[in-house]
Amino acid sequence: MGEIVLKNVTKKFGSNTVIQNLNLTIKDGSFTVLVGPSGCGKTTLLRMIAGIGPQTSGTVCIDGKDISEVAPGDRGVAMVFQNYAIYPTMSVYENIEFGLKNNHIPKDKRRKLVDDACEKVGLQELKDRQPNALSGGQRQRVALARAIVKQPSVFLMDEPLSNLDAKLRVQMRVELIELHHKLKTTFVYVTHDQIEAMSMADTIVLMNEGKIMQMDSPRKLYRDPDNLFAARFIGSPAMNIRRFGNEEYVLGFRPEKGIISTQEPQGCYRTSGTVVAKEDLGSEIHYSVRDMYDDVSVIRSEEDDITVGEKVWIGAKPENIYLFGNDQLRIREDDPRYPDLCRQVLALQ
């Protein structure tokens, strides 16, 4: 069990307020990813849950119990740090055992628990090694084992993959997902990498400037963003946007839903420009087209004969267009302004 509830939490560093009156409920057993740009308060939030950077005001509850005043070691949480925070003077075994020892668990039980944890992350052969004789990936595993061994109700992870190379990161991503399935406990994972968030989370909490911009499943967040920030942050390349209606409204469409053609497309939003870059990634081709306003990205999965420097039309079908108001909030189909704005978009050139 490990439902986390944050009620009206505020965090100040001196006179600087990083998070103000934030409310968040993280479901028991979920893999929740806190994602957002640097300085958005996601790590601060994680540290509040861990108790190593307590909130200035508000309460943090785990399983309905207010743990605001409980010491980090007694909260039933385990954390994996960005730099792993492995104790450099202890062997792998001692590192994993340290928490158990402090909790006065008998020696034979400790040995069994450490062995189990090592087996789960594939560290059996390295138990006697010193941390300085380990690679980045192995250190990562030690940090994981150290968390697993405590059998916590909540796992907290602060950008644990950011120090690994690209290949290892993908591999560890899969292993973490598997681990979550195996352990079935609550995972709270912080990252600034939206791809990591999309691939691992069952719930994404998107944050900006200390506020939650949207909290949803990856699919919902991607297909149905609530605001312009969510629309622009999730997805790579980012959603194409253009202001219209006296700069009052914003339209957006995802690069992979864009149309690129030498002939003017009909019945949809369209604009013309020049191809400034064509990146062939094998499975897909990324085009950058410069129209009179901005650069527009379009992704196509099939080969075509459009070349750099060519004049082309860019477009998007009405059903693939997202509309946002001046307050950056989404204007959905049920909004009274929607039909009129749609007409305006189709008439744009």
Partner 1 sequence: MKKNTTNTEELETRHRGNWKEKIKPYLYIAPAFVGIGLFTIYPVIKVLIWSFQKVNQLDTSKTKWVGMKNYSYLLSNGAFQKTLLNTFIYTGATLAIIMTCALILAFWLNKSQGHLTMFTQGAAFMPHVISSVSIALVFSMMMNPSFGLFNKVLTAVGLPASPWLTSSSTAMPSVVGVASWKAIGYYCLIIIGALQSISASIYEAASLDNAGAGVTLRKITIPMISPQLFFVMITMTIGSFKVFDTVRLLTDGGPNNATSVLVYYIYKQVFWESNIGRACAAGIVLLVLVGVLTVIYFRLLSKRVHYQ
What's the chain's length in residues? 349
Cβ(159)–Cβ(191) below 8 Å: yes
For 181, the enclosing helix (H) or strand (E) is: helix 166-183
Q: Please give the sequence-ordered ranges of beta strands (E in DSSP) within 245-307, or none if there are none.
A: 249-253, 259-261, 269-280, 285-290, 295-300
Q: In the beta sheet, which residues pair with residue 286?
A: 279, 299
Q: Cβ closer to partner 1: 95 or 271? A: 95
Q: Cβ closer to partner 1: 100 or 213? A: 100
Q: Cβ closer to partner 1: 87 or 338? A: 87
Cβ(288)–Cβ(273) below 8 Å: no
Which two structure tokens, joined as six digits, stand for 316? 């998007």
Out of 38, 102, 263, 283, point to the residue binding partner 1 (CB under 8 A): 102
Q: Cβ closer to partner 1: 105 or 183? A: 105
Q: Cβ closer to partner 1: 88 or 309? A: 88
Cβ(56)–Cβ(6) below 8 Å: no
Q: Cβ closer to partner 1: 46 or 179? A: 46
The CB-of-63 to partner 1 minimum distance in angstroms stands at 18
Encoded amino acid at 345, one letter: V
Out of 58, 99, 218, 235, point to the residue binding partner 1 (CB under 8 A): 99
Range 69-88, binding partner 1 (CB under 8 A): 71-74, 77-79, 81-83, 85-88
The CB-of-43 to partner 1 minimum distance in angstroms stands at 11
Residue owning tokens 């990083």: 18
Three-state DSSP state, 160:
coil
Of the ranges 48-56, 177-185, 213-221, 266-274, which one interacts with partner 1 (CB under 8 A)? 48-56
The CB-of-128 to partner 1 minimum distance in angstroms stands at 15
Give the number of other Cβ atoms within 10 Å of residue 165's Cβ.
Answer: 10
Out of 25, 37, 52, 57, point to the residue binding partner 1 (CB under 8 A): 52
HEC-encoded secondary structure of 119-141: HHHCCHHHCCCCHHHCCHHHHHH
Q: In the beta sheet, which residues pair with residue 228?
A: none
Q: Cβ closer to partner 1: 82 or 344? A: 82
Of the ranges 3-11, 67-75, 184-192, 267-275, which one interacts with partner 1 (CB under 8 A)? 67-75
Range 120-159, binding partner 1 (CB under 8 A): 132, 146, 150
Out of 5, 20, 70, 98, point to the residue binding partner 1 (CB under 8 A): 98
With binding defined as CB under 8 A, does residue 306 bind partner 1?
no
Three-state DSSP state, 26:
strand
Which two structure tokens, joined as six digits, stand for 199? 């691939």
What are residue 287's phi and psi, to 5 degrees?
A: -105, 140
Of the ranges 49-57, 267-275, 312-320, 328-336, which one interacts with partner 1 (CB under 8 A)? 49-57
Judged by the rule CB under 8 A, the positions of this chain that interact with partner 1 are 50-52, 71-74, 77-79, 81-83, 85-90, 98-99, 102-103, 132, 146, 150
